[in-house]
Amino acid sequence: MDKIQPSQIVAFMKRYRFRGGRLRRFRVQTESAQRSSGEIVVSIRENESDKRLRLRLVLDNVEEYRFQRRPGTGLVRLKEVRLGYFNGSFFLNFDAFPDDGPPSLIDFRASDAFIAAQTISWEIVPSKAKPKS
């Protein structure tokens, strides 16, 4: 797995098209009283090849998160996804408002679907082989 560095956020977000993708998995696991981890799997497109792929994000030392589903709103289809780095933590927002400027910390904490962790690693999940007929 490759780790995302704060200096790579812009390039990472330009490489993949999250808008129109699908949230496949969102899981947070408490490992101890001081440590939690998270796993997110999304189905998105790579911008350069326009190829659909599954991207797995693993978050270590999760510090805060909110994943709240309100009545009448679906959170399976991704609209606007933002990634930021504030005070030594990565913040990933799944229901961001489109902004003209750079995101601020309050934009993430006001979200109904965000997660913050000290590190984020990613990998492309191989597609499942289709059964032969």
pLDDT tens across 9-61, in order?
A: 999 999 999 988 999 999 999 988 788 999 999 999 999 999 999 999 999 99
In the chain, the number of structural domains is 1
- Tell which residue, 22, 84, 31, 32, has the closest CA to residue 54: 22
What is the sign, positive or negative, of the torsion defined by CA atoms of 23, 52, 61, 88? negative
What is d(CA 72, CA 113) in angstroms, rounded to the nearest whole number?
A: 15
HEC string of 55-67?
EEEEEEEEEEEEE
Total-model pTM? 0.85
Q: In which domain, by residue range, is 30 found?
A: 2-125
| 131 inside domain | no
| 52 inside domain | yes
Q: Is the pLDDT of residue 133 over 60?
A: no
Nearest-5° Cα angle at 26, 74 to 30: 140
| 132 inside domain | no
Q: What is the pLDDT of residue 75?
A: 62
